[in-house]
Structure 1
């Protein structure tokens, strides 16, 4: 009988170690379930590429494990269930049944659920990276059981895709990261404003940024460049001035103010004799991003905005698909999609595309008044304003760009510049 005591003591301590191990294992599974499943794939990819050094290392370790979320979830829950179901069996060998139930509930609740989840919710990235090799081992160990369940979840719920923020959500997310929000962000007011402007510009069209045609300064094609006209041009301070023919709404081109430096005001040179450039025409419904892309090509930094009087829903979609920065209805761009043109191109020597030509001698940019008719708008197109690159940039920055000759901060609402505020 005396020799059985050490054996009983050994079994007791073995059961105690098993109980402790099961509690720790159940807590680890519960903590990893919360910590790893709360880490989004997008967040991990961001951290792995642009996070701090230690965060990049941790995120790179976790990404392969979290990639198949349903398989990971099934593995962790199977491990957690095995530990919690086995715990009362071994406790029953140590204490009475009622005590086994009480002790198992207390241990699981405190050390298997609350404490591990509290730790992993705060340090999920570090704990997940540390336990990544162990989780890989569990994935292989429970694979025969977890894989079928995960495939069923994929079929029923779909595979877990990275949740990206919508445009409005991303804007609010950026605002929270501004230093003015008081949440610890380090983005300045200008940074948050520019980002918000870039996100909102997709919804804005030429109508939102243009200068109304009634408030735009322009020159008559049949006018002369006398002293009064030149003084008016210099007073306005524009680098480009639209030119109209007969009707102020029939803007046919533009003139660069720098080309007027050599003009003698005493000679009253006719405006027709000057170098007049074509001016693009865009619909008031054209998105600002499309206008900005066309401005970047260099043909012009100002465009005429028109309104289609008879536009229907069907023609609106066609206009959106076919609209370009054409100067007039006769475009000099050739159709390169047909097979016949391909054959002609092979036989004839290659020519330089119009957008690659030098602007000084480009027929696309210069208006030839002597050899071609004066372009006119279609009767169903009503000119409503002009838009410049500065107008588009102001919408992007969400702030007015003032130069030395500006009289108004907001020309639409006739808000004048406060010179005292600018000096302060």
Structure 2
């Protein structure tokens, strides 16, 4: 009698242990389904390259596991389904049918499927995923004969890659949200967000968008005399380069380096034409800004004149097309 009681007690303890393991296993699979599948490959690659030391370590462990997303998804769902279907078998031998249903639903809801596992893995998905990555890889190998064909069908009908890189407008919005002015805990300053946003919009802008109109540009006539008044005006403007025009402000023919005027005495009233006039770069108003930026980075010029393409060229022997504006390299 004692031996029979001992055997029943041992069987009961074994069933309780198995039920507990099944619930924990199902909960782990459910949590990983949400935690791992919510991490895109792009996000993990960003963490690997520029995350904190711990995030880099965790992301590096997870990345090989989630690279084949559909295979991982099928593996986790199969393991979760097996655990959930096995659980009532052991519960039915311990309690009545309605009791098994109530206990099974409660355990599944709280621990095995929804609330607790997904809440924990949503908060600590990266660390948990990295810790169980070797175990998940083993499960992938075990479920491979069943999971692989299903994953290939999903690849075929849904597409293999689900990662979509951000478009420029989306990146700009993302940068704005990371600004400290957005009030969401971002670290980017207003100047930093403006610089990044400007770089993202660079391909859409042309030279005409960034130029200073001729009407607002300070320039001197090639026949003007560098007397005391003009020299004082040049110094007051504070520019390192001054455009030079012929008869009309729109006929820009070159530029003068202000530092070259140090040797000019105002009392001599030397004509501007007698000073070294450097060639100025001419660009079309439709030239993309990033192309012009590359030209400036070559170091051959710090200023360019923007020429319109309307075809109404002013007939002057020393000019090309009428100038619409001045574009300066700002460092």
Q: Do the structures match in fold with TM over 0.5?
A: yes
SS in 2 for 1:194: helix
Alignment match, 1:290: 291
1:222 and 2:223 are equivalent in the alignment: yes
* 1:58-97 → structure 2 map (5 Å cutoff): 58-97=58-97
SS in 2 for 1:384: strand
* 1:9-408 → structure 2 map (5 Å cutoff): 9-113=9-113, 114-309=115-310, 375-378=318-321, 382-390=322-330
Q: Give the deviation of 1:374 after TM superposition.
A: 5.3
Q: Give the deviation of 1:53 after TM superposition.
A: 2.1
| Whole-angstrom CA distance in 2 between matches of 1:227 and 1:2 | 120
| Whole-angstrom CA distance in 2 between matches of 1:91 and 1:164 | 47
| Whole-angstrom CA distance in 2 between matches of 1:13 and 1:257 | 93
Kept in 2, the 8 Å contact 1:224–1:268? The answer is: yes
SS in 2 for 1:261: helix
Alignment match, 1:421: none
SS in 2 for 1:255: strand
223-232 or 277-286, larger mean C-alpha shift: 223-232
Give per-residue Cα distances to partners, 1:180-223, cap 9 Å, x unaligned.
33322233333333323333343333223222112222222334
Give per-residue Cα distances to partners, 1:11-33, cap 9 Å, x unaligned.
33222222222111111100110
Kept in 2, the 8 Å contact 1:40–1:163? The answer is: no
Q: Give the deviation of 1:161 after TM superposition.
A: 4.3
SS in 1 for 2:197: helix
Q: Give the deviation of 1:73 after TM superposition.
A: 0.5
Instruction: Give the number of equivalent residue pairs.
Output: 327
Give per-residue Cα distances to partners, 1:313-353, cap 9 Å, x unaligned.
xxxxxxxxxxxxxxxxxxxxxxxxxxxxxxxxxxxxxxxxx
91-100 or 58-67, larger mean C-alpha shift: 91-100
Cα pair distance change 1:233/1:93, threshold 3 Å? same
SS in 1 for 2:94: coil
| Whole-angstrom CA distance in 1 between matches of 2:164 and 2:246 | 55
| Whole-angstrom CA distance in 2 between matches of 1:188 and 1:111 | 43
| Whole-angstrom CA distance in 2 between matches of 1:300 and 1:97 | 86
Give per-residue Cα distances to partners, 1:250-295, cap 9 Å, x unaligned.
2111111111211233333333332111111122222333222212
Q: Give the deviation of 1:310 after TM superposition.
A: 5.7
Q: Give the deviation of 1:115 after TM superposition.
A: 1.0
Give per-residue Cα distances to partners, 1:106-135, cap 9 Å, x unaligned.
111111021111111111111111111110
Kept in 2, the 8 Å contact 1:252–1:374? The answer is: no
Kept in 2, the 8 Å contact 1:175–1:192? The answer is: yes
Alignment match, 1:400: none
| Whole-angstrom CA distance in 1 between matches of 2:311 and 2:318 | 20
Alignment match, 1:399: none
| Whole-angstrom CA distance in 1 between matches of 2:234 and 2:140 | 76
SS in 2 for 1:385: strand
Displaced runs of 4 or more, over 4 A: none
SS in 2 for 1:175: helix
Q: Give the deviation of 1:56 after TM superposition.
A: 1.7
RMSD: 2.3
Cα pair distance change 1:261/1:150, threshold 3 Å? same
SS in 2 for 1:123: helix
Q: Give the deviation of 1:303 after TM superposition.
A: 1.0
Q: Give the deviation of 1:2 after TM superposition.
A: 5.9
SS in 1 for 2:87: helix
Kept in 2, the 8 Å contact 1:62–1:132? The answer is: yes
